[in-house]
Structure 1
Amino acid sequence: MTALTSQISLPSLGGEDRGPLSAVRSGPATTDSPAPATTAGAGTPRVIGLDLSMTATGIATWDGRPLSTVRTVASDGDQRLRRIMVTVRADAYDYVAKTPIDLAVIEDLPTHAHGAGITGMVHGAVRVALMELGVPYALVPPATLKKFATGRGNATKPDMRMALFQRAGLDIRDDNQVDAWWLRAAGLEYLGHPLLELPKAQRDALAKVAWPEAVAG
């Protein structure tokens, strides 16, 4: 797995020029990705999947770039939040069309962890970034994502990886990237642009998600 450093020129928000900032990410776990599983075709909604974590945030971008993980180290302290936020903001903006993307799909915190924990800090920073850009976002509970991907709400991480391999032919070793891929797939499924043919019972799991009205499917 290689470390990639990119210079990002963010759009001006609220009259403030953010200037170029650096974001460091690792990945991809594999580049053997079949085009239909990852590449957004003409007319496909611009959707990203985000598996948020202070140490390793998985990202499935809207434009078909390889899956990636934003990795941080504890010694950077709260600067890690800024690094994650900068990266997400860059990935949630279409620099060609000069507009925000259509939807971000985020794996929600477990019910018992709401309102607390380090991952909650990351959720706050990322949601602020998305709100500043005007990108609507949906929160998908872990059990719902698992049922959508595998048919079982108590699926394990290896189950999620295997489902991705069996359904899309993608052998992804990074669990953060696997979750991010399934989150993006869930968003595209809801918007009527499915990446995969899934059983109805799995697709119906997404009915429990509170999708934003701005992107009603």
Structure 2
Amino acid sequence: MTRFVGIDPSTKTGLVILDRDGNILDTMEITAEGEDPGRMANIIAETVENLEQGDVVAIEGFAYGAKGNAVGIQYGIGYGIRIEMYNGGTNYIEVGPGQLKKFASGKGNTKKDELAVHIYKQWGFEHHSDNVRDAFVLAQIARAVKLGTATTKYQQEVVKAILEPPKTKQKKSKVANA
């Protein structure tokens, strides 16, 4: 059975697993006690232990404009999960924070509290943790990418952007010929 998994990596990592029809198989917020890097390693290990061979995984990309001390820890957890998935042969879909918001609400800059309302209206899903809510949307994106379940124009735009990312222009070198 193909499962669709959403992962929102953080010190409180959200993880949601859906079946093919979008039914919730599991939801969790993964945390750990102790000092880093041990705490980070435990979050990474527990997250990856919940994956199965053949899962279609969508993970939230990094918020590169974010500031603060916690950002480095979040990046560490995010990269750690990606490395463990790579080592375990699990492919994943990278979803930008703006893409996640747009898929749920139609706007890539929707605030977290507003996003909760859109998620409830769209799918009838509610949870106290914004990490789990984000993971739920990521799992829905995984379904849409794999099964074509995007129902709105803005969801279809997100799926297309994930499947066909815009090509970045490479800067020409200004090195003079010798």
| TM-score relative to the length of structure 1 | 0.66
Kept after mapping to 1: 8 A contact 2:18/2:26? no
Secondary structure of 1:67's counterpart equals: strand
Aligned ranges 1:39-78 → 2 under 5 Å: 45-54=2-11, 56-62=12-18, 64-73=24-33, 75-78=34-37
Corresponding residue to 1:84 among 34, 37, 43: 43
101, 114, 133: which one aligns with 1:178: 133
Deviation at 1:202, TM superposition (A): 2.6
Identity %: 24
Give the deviation of 1:125 after TM superposition: 1.1
How far off its partner does 1:65 sit?
2.8
Residue segments in structure 1 that go unaligned for 5+ positions in a row = 1-43, 94-99, 212-217
* Unmatched 5+ stretches in structure 2: 165-178
How do 1:14-163 and structure 2 match up within 5 A? 45-54=2-11, 56-62=12-18, 64-73=24-33, 75-93=34-52, 100-112=53-65, 117-163=72-118
Distance 1:81 1:151 in 2: 33
Alpha-carbon distance, 1:48 to partner: 0.7
- Report matched runs for 1:181-200 at 5 Å: 181-192=136-147, 194=149, 198-200=151-153
Structure richer in helix, relative to its length: 2
Partner of 1:111: helix, strand, or coil? coil
**SS of 2:107 mapped into structure 1:** coil
Matched residue type, 2:16: A
Check the 8 A contact 1:45/1:188 in 2, yes or no. Answer: no
**Which is greater in Rg?**
2
Q: CA deviation at 1:79?
A: 1.1
- Per the alignment, residue 5 of structure 1 pairs with none
Q: CA RMSD in A?
A: 2.2
Measured in 2, the distance between the counterparts of 1:165 and 1:46 equals: 22
1:95-136 residue CA offsets vs partner (Å, 9 max, x unmatched)? xxxxx13321111011335xx711110012101110121110
- CA–CA separation in structure 1 for the residues paired with 2:79 and 2:155: 29
- For 1:85, what is the secondary structure of its paired residue? helix
TM-score, scaled relative to structure 2: 0.79
Q: Which of 1 and 2 has higher RCO (CA within 8 Å, sep 6+)?
A: 2
Deviates most, 58-67 or 184-193? 58-67
Following superposition, the deviation at residue 62 of structure 1 comes to 4.2
**CA–CA distance in 2 between the matches of 1:207 and 1:83?**
35
State how far apart, in whole Å, the 2-side matches of 1:62 and 1:162 are. Answer: 20
